[in-house]
Structure 1
Amino acid sequence: MLWSLLVFGAALITVNAKLPTPRTPPQVIFQSSVSLENIAVRASSDLLLTSFTSPILFTFNPKSTNGTLAPVHTFSNATTLTGITEYRPGVFAVLSSGLSATTSTMNLGSVFLWSVDFNARAPAVSVLGALPGSSGANGITTVPGHPNILLVADSFVGAIWQLDIATGAARLAIQDPALSAGAPPPAVGVNGIHVRDGYLYFTTSQTAVFGRVAFHVEGGNVSAAGAVQTLASLGDGQQPDDFVFDCERRAWVTVHPGELAVLEAPGHGSAGGWTQVAAVGNAAGSDADLVAPTSAKFGRGSEVEDKTLYVTTGAGQIVKIDSSEYN
């Protein structure tokens, strides 16, 4: 996310030399004139898309022959939409904000979390709460077992915000130097976040890290329960953005300038940190079918869709990938 603001970082990652060669190359199923930021998938298989350059939430039918982006809602007093996640069946949380043209950060007091409910005949939109102290609200994740908690990555503060959607109360839940960019904006720190098995997994763009931190919830408040762990560090000039886990517990990480890196945990046979076992596109960013990937989500509703990965890019592409060919 925040793809247009990223600054290059440098690091290393262990790469398996025997990367699989897919039979079917990635397919660009739509080219938009709007830069795409984040993606969510409805039970109907329709995609919900945000843009860093637009306050409009879009929908797209990936099964249509001549599909187009259709507007769902335009968020008032906003110029930017970043994170989106389904926090209840058919109900999605969306982050909106106003971007400062002079500082490249979000104006303090402009960041809001909204609910978009598709269970009604027409989508019902309402405010969940605000993050008045945030200047870089980015990825969002839910916390299993705690339906009123949403966590939000702040790429410029280098922290994780918590929003209680029952009360609208916001607080800083986790803040650590490992989540920061180590440089002032527009350098981007923590970016994509997802909760799995008691850990908050994350990427940091400036420092090119895929990592995690254990957390606990006490009295309705999230806090770290251990040190931040670096699981993998990507190579020179690589800028990880959002990511998604598959059913084999691999992480598919979107990486600027043009790669989707597949990372595997040590439990699958590799030693030490997580290992890159596959790659879509290339690290040099020269693949015209994957330009500045920003987010990825698996389809829903069938065995085929469950293995179909949809990727958005900063160049306005929606890319379809058969993940089963990377086993």
Structure 2
Amino acid sequence: MINFLCILGAATLPLLTLATNKPGYRPYDPEVYTVYQFPENGSWIANIATRPNNDLVITRTDVPEVWAIKVDEGTAELVATIPDANNLIGLSAIDDDVYVVIAGNLDTATLTPEAGSFSAWKVNLDSNNDGSASLIAAIPEGQFLHGVETFQKRKNSTLVLIADAGQGAIYKLDTVSGNYSIAIKNESLAGVNNIHAQNEYLYFTATQNKIFGRVPVDLEEATATGPIEIISDDQKFVPDGFALSTNGSLAYMATFIENSVVAIDLDDEDHPKTTIQGDLNSTSIAGPTAVLYMKKGHDSTLYVTTNGGQTAPVNGEFSEPAKIVGIDL
């Protein structure tokens, strides 16, 4: 078992920057704005994906639930509950309104997983937001399955990759047959949690070790074709969920207990970081967990999910219900 709270000590700072946001979509706002916020403290959003109509779908970690978010209206609707699991984490679209969801049991107070409890599910949504869930595969060998990434469309199937933080490994899973195996395993992947594939690389974060890196992969088999490259191992920086720009030149990173979103330049060999929004003592993005990059014409928006500072309250005292915020770029 891995206790991920060992890395999550928060500094005490004298001032809170309070957020004053109203739900719903705004055509343009250079600041953080709230798209939707759950009513109850202790809520936790783990991951986010886009729907064909540009609305959103999210997974919750405090409960095993999938929710649909109407961006224009600033409303949310429960669309699926996964049985025989306490928590949901990873989420990735494999077709129009069809998603792979990673479920399992996790002590959210200590971030300690129950090894052997993890599984992958398929969730289908229709235009009326009626959802259905079916088991793809139980993966009892998994120690702490986390992020999932749609990797390759195959004839009559889709291959996805799943991060296993406990084993420092990447599983590949056929979403039709349910067959799975470990594709990559490396000590540099210890604590791997979020993954995205682009430009023949698999990018990953390992929050426990404060690492952001990438590995070149075979586009058919998803096996490593070269060594892992560490993009950032700054021990003052806590990388968590992230998104890649369309051309792959930037990574937009949620910093978890640092309450901010930063951009990392992937083209510059020094990989400099620029803060987009938030800071350690700001409540506008308390406990950011995942980032979705959405481009519409000439406009781009980052949607960021949070756990409301549940893991590490801002300034040691502020937490709030989980929410989705928007940042217009």
TM-score band, normalised by the shorter chain? Answer: 0.7 to 0.9
Determine which of 247, 272, 277 is the counterpart of 1:275: 272
CA distance in 2, matches of 1:49, 1:240: 20
Listed one character per residue, the Cα deviations across residues 123-161 of structure 1 (whole Å, up to 9, x for unaligned) are: 332211121111211111011354521101111221111
Deviation at 1:299, TM superposition (A): 3.7
In structure 1, list runs of 5 or more residues that go unmatched.
Answer: 10-21, 181-188
Aligned in 2, Cα 1:206/1:103: closer, same or farther, shift over 3 Å?
A: closer
Determine which of 148, 158, 168 is the counterpart of 2:168: 158
Aligned in 2, Cα 1:244/1:110: closer, same or farther, shift over 3 Å?
A: same
* Residues 294, 312 of structure 1: 8 Å contact kept: yes
CA distance in 2, matches of 1:297, 1:232: 20
Q: After the TM superposition, which residues 85-234 of structure 1 pair with which residues of structure 2 at under 5 Å, given as runs?
A: 85-99=92-106, 104-119=111-126, 122-146=130-154, 147-180=157-190, 189-216=191-218, 221-234=221-234
Determine which of 288, 291, 295 is the counterpart of 2:286: 291
Listed one character per residue, the Cα deviations across residues 188-244 of structure 1 (whole Å, up to 9, x for unaligned) are: x111100111111011112222110112156xx4321111101123351x3211110
CA distance in 2, matches of 1:6, 1:196: 31
Q: Which amino acid aligns with 2:61?
A: F
Aligned in 2, Cα 1:29/1:124: closer, same or farther, shift over 3 Å?
A: closer
Listed one character per residue, the Cα deviations across residues 237-265 of structure 1 (whole Å, up to 9, x for unaligned) are: x3211110123421101112211110112
Deviation at 1:278, TM superposition (A): 3.8
Q: Which amino acid aligns with 1:134?
A: G
Q: Which amino acid aligns with 1:242?
A: G
Deviation at 1:5, TM superposition (A): 4.1
* Residues 3, 294 of structure 1: 8 Å contact kept: no
Deviation at 1:101, TM superposition (A): 8.2
Listed one character per residue, the Cα deviations across residues 22-75 of structure 1 (whole Å, up to 9, x for unaligned) are: 9721112332222111111101122111111111111111211xx333110111
* Residues 47, 61 of structure 1: 8 Å contact kept: yes
CA distance in 2, matches of 1:277, 1:108: 37
CA distance in 2, matches of 1:83, 1:52: 10
In structure 2, list runs of 5 or more residues that go unmatched.
Answer: 10-27, 309-321
Matched, 1:26 2:32: yes
Q: Which amino acid aligns with 2:260?
A: E
Aligned in 2, Cα 1:247/1:215: closer, same or farther, shift over 3 Å?
A: closer
CA distance in 2, matches of 1:148, 1:160: 16
> Which structure ranks higher in relative contact order (CA pairs < 8 Å, sequence separation ≥ 6)?
1
Alignment length, in residue pairs? 289
CA distance in 1, matches of 2:271, 2:37: 33
Moved more, 115-124 or 100-109: 100-109
- Residue of structure 2 in register with 1:260 after alignment: 261
Q: Which amino acid aligns with 1:161?
A: Y
Instruction: Name the % identity.
Output: 28
Aligned in 2, Cα 1:210/1:52: closer, same or farther, shift over 3 Å?
A: same
Aligned in 2, Cα 1:89/1:102: closer, same or farther, shift over 3 Å?
A: closer
Matched, 1:42 2:63: no
* Residues 6, 239 of structure 1: 8 Å contact kept: no
* Residues 53, 79 of structure 1: 8 Å contact kept: yes
- Residue of structure 1 in register with 2:25 after alignment: none
Aligned in 2, Cα 1:322/1:100: closer, same or farther, shift over 3 Å?
A: closer
* Residues 4, 111 of structure 2: 8 Å contact kept: no
Q: Which amino acid aligns with 1:281?
A: G
Partner SS state of residue 206, structure 1? helix
Deviation at 1:312, TM superposition (A): 0.3
Partner SS state of residue 64, structure 2? strand
Aligned in 2, Cα 1:133/1:102: closer, same or farther, shift over 3 Å?
A: farther
Partner SS state of residue 135, structure 1? coil
Deviation at 1:104, TM superposition (A): 4.8
Give me the CA root mean square deviation: 2.6
- Residue of structure 2 in register with 1:15 after alignment: none
* Residues 99, 123 of structure 2: 8 Å contact kept: yes
Deviation at 1:110, TM superposition (A): 2.2
- Residue of structure 2 in register with 1:303 after alignment: 297
